[in-house]
Structure 1
């Protein structure tokens, strides 16, 4: 199982490298892309269609249904965790608090943390977890959803997640913070256990806030 986990991590890491060259002032767009040819006003044009985060249905720590549409018009950061994690999750979320504190009053930035152990991480458990961290309001949501669907969704974020009875806490997952723009495209991936990577994430969010909605990285 560990070999499978390592293989999956490497595969997703390679997928994350599929982006165009870009300047220092424009963030790349990660993931797969395809050229789509269509006719507009009698002229044939070719557009690039980028990978986006698909629809999902979860419930947050307040018992409210959260879907892809709930994040319309916002920049957001996503990660995958479980509340009983004995290894990287506590470090990740201590670091994520820096992101929360920086943007909790901005109004256009959110954080979503998907539980990979939804059977244990009920709404009540997630609320207690959020309360202990001092999280209030709707800037940071802790989400419970169907387990199989959540694991599949992680692939769309280019994050590997799986059960492993030999791993600490019974799960293997990557500790990435994934930056998503208002068009639901992946714009960055950061090691959530490394403070310098979290500082880079904060800087990139600010850069993304200034980017016109129509801008596409080249």
Structure 2
């Protein structure tokens, strides 16, 4: 059911992609639930979309990163591992363009989660970031408890993230970039292995920014 809902949302997003940022708002992704609330003294039902839950990971500087660090921010999340022999180098090259575009914007963040925490220690992640020319805390590479990373990836960011002995490098993960709004809702998913997907992410970040003006 979740996959059907996601597909419908992506189709809606694609349908309106030709509109200007002033004409359309991004959809909410994920399986909504009905919630009751009181409006003008009357009980009404409304759809409530899932949000990214609280988390606690460690970044490339050895610092704890929690939901508070992206509170009130628009951010992009993805999953990778340093020794990935397949799509990760392409994804990081594409995401580097996003970083360069928004690195001086205090309202935009990038959060990359390693799915190989045994190897990808903070020191390894710091060297990885330095090799890419990434400085500061706009783009944070995080590690932590393996099961918590897998859980937040698959059950909340709606991507594949986990060990797979049959996959190149021993891990299977999605090539998606996930766009999160300031209220922790997923507002878009993009093919991080393509230039077109990355450009659409950049366009939709700007659309989302308009919602807060």
Asked if these proteins are the same fold (TM beyond 0.5), I'd say yes
1:1-218 equivalences under 5 Å are: 13-17=3-7, 19=9, 24=19, 25-40=24-39, 42-155=41-154, 156-212=156-212
1:19 Cα deviation (Å)? 3.7
Equivalents in 1 of 2:66, 2:118: separation in Å?
19
Query: For 1:161-216, what per-residue CA distance to the aligned partner results, in whole angstroms no more than 9, with x for missing partners?
Result: 22111211001111100000001000100010100110010010011011038xxx
Runs of 4+ in 1 over 3 A off after TM superposition: 11-15, 18-24
Paired residue secondary structure (2:72): coil
How many angstroms apart in 2 are the aligned matches of 1:45 and 1:13? 28
Q: CA deviation at 1:122?
A: 0.3
Structure 1 residue 63: Cα displacement: 1.0
In the alignment, structure 1 segments of 5+ residues that lack a partner are 1-10, 214-218
CA contact (8 A) 2:56 2:64 kept: yes
Indicate conservation of the 8 Å contact 1:52/1:184, yes or no: yes
What is the aligned length? 203
- Consecutive unaligned residues of structure 2, counting only runs of 5 or more, are none
Deviations 1:93-120 (A, max 9, x none): 0000010001001110000000000011
Q: Hey, what's the Cα distance between the residues in 1 that align with 2:189 and 2:40?
A: 39
Could you state the TM-score of these two structures normalised by the residue count of structure 2? 0.90
Does the CA contact (< 8 Å) of 1:17 and 1:30 recur in 2? Answer: no
1:120, 1:12 → 2: CA distance? 32
Deviation at 1:47, TM superposition (A): 2.7
Q: Taking structure 1 as reference, are residues 18 and 211 closer, same or farther at Cα in structure 2, changes over 3 Å only?
A: same
RMSD: 1.8
Kept after mapping to 2: 8 A contact 1:115/1:121 = yes
CA distance in 2 between counterparts of 1:72 and 1:145 reads 20
